[in-house]
Amino acid sequence: MTSNTQMYVDRLHIIKYYLNHRIRVTSLCKRFNRSRTWFYKWKRRHDVYGNIGLMNISRGASAQPNQTPMDVEAAILEFIEEHPSYGPVRIANEMKRNAITVTPSAVYNVLRRKNLNTRKMRLEHIRIKHGIVTTPSDLERAKDRAKTRSLDTRYPGHIVGMDVFYVGTLKGVGRIFQITAIDTYSSYAWAKLYTDKSARSACDFMMHVYNNSQDVEVESVLTDNGLEFTTHHASKNHSFERLLRELNVKHRLTKVRHPWTNGACERLNRTILEEFYQLAFRTRIYETLEQLNDDLETYLRTYNYQRTHQGKRTKGRVPAELYLLHKKSA
């Protein structure tokens, strides 16, 4: 006999005892060690439904009116297949741009139900799905050195931060470095890969930025004191310094051992690491530097023109909106 059946038999016995003997309810409850509330509850059910009213009611799953609709949930899961490094806030913003209204908390709840609520879980899910067994250990060990500081940047092109980021070792190519630049006002970004971090590479990248500045005048460049950007000699006889003078671009230097002065560039390096490299090396095996450079350029187009940015100036817009529409007035 199951527990539910036993409870039904006990209730039926007590109700029948009361109906047959018509004793006081207080005495009945004392005799069977039940409360009067219990008795009146089951007595009312027996009066309305008969003996069947004394059985337990089988309840279905509770309704969840606030649960995300299935079509929206499917859209979220499809979106993170392409952008697993995005968090709930950015996913919600991007979904809104695609005419799907969903809150960040709803996005998080969907990811949590699918055990995808952390970036690491989503990246591992993508790695397994694509059957990639190699892991970019050099990238995993990269440190986040960026610290929040406020830079007095006033308009697009006023200060372009520039930095060198060690990506790792590519089989058949060797060590690869990324030179990164960011317009500190709008967060508009440039990046290119090299096999060294020499002054020659820095000059090539500076021309890459200058020729792809979308007619926005680059007024100054902010770098650290690395030998690819400057020299410690008073003469400043350095190829990168000479190039900046030819382009009429001012060279700003960060204070020694104060990398947060160029914090926007440091943060961009981390974003590219998390949103591009950690995904790219889990979904594709690169054989040449050109292949990786092409995919990096594709990502940067998305970063500049499609990916919403949470900065204090962009406030959910894409960097190109500020960079192209808020140029320095003549």
Query: At which residue do the structure tokens 């490299």 appear?
Result: 277
Query: Which pLDDT value is given to residue 74?
Result: 86
Query: Which pLDDT value is given to residue 147?
Result: 44
**Structure token digits, residue 177:** 């470095």
Q: What angle do CA 137, 141, 146 make, to 5 degrees?
A: 145
**Which band of pLDDT confidence, cut at 50, 70 and 90, is reported for residue 133?**
low
Tell which residue, 263, 243, 249, 265, has the closest CA to residue 216: 249
Residue 201 Cα distances to 31, 113, 115, 262, angstroms: 94, 47, 43, 20
In what order do the strands lie in the sheet containing 189-194?
189-194, 174-183, 160-170, 220-223, 250-253
Average pLDDT, the chain: 83
List, for residues 165-223, the tens digit of each pLDDT value: 998 888 888 899 999 999 888 889 999 999 998 999 999 999 999 998 888 888 999 98
Average pLDDT over residues 29-54: 89
pLDDT of 228 higher than 70: yes
148 C-beta neighbours (distance < 10 Å), count: 7
**Which band of pLDDT confidence, cut at 50, 70 and 90, is reported for residue 95?**
confident
Query: Which pLDDT value is given to residue 181?
Result: 92
Query: Which pLDDT value is given to residue 202?
Result: 92
Burial class from Cβ neighbours inside 10 Å (0-12, 13-18, 19+) for residue 170 reads: buried
Query: At which residue do the structure tokens 């969840």 appear?
Result: 64
More confident residue, 139 or 90: 90
List, for residues 249-281, the tens digit of each pLDDT value: 999 888 766 655 678 888 889 989 988 888 888
Query: Which pLDDT value is given to residue 33?
Result: 92
pLDDT above 70 as % of the chain? 87
Query: Which pLDDT value is given to residue 148?
Result: 45
pLDDT of 112 higher than 70: yes
Average pLDDT over residues 285-306: 91
pLDDT of 138 higher than 60: no
Query: Which pLDDT value is given to residue 146?
Result: 41
pTM exceeds 0.75 for this model: no
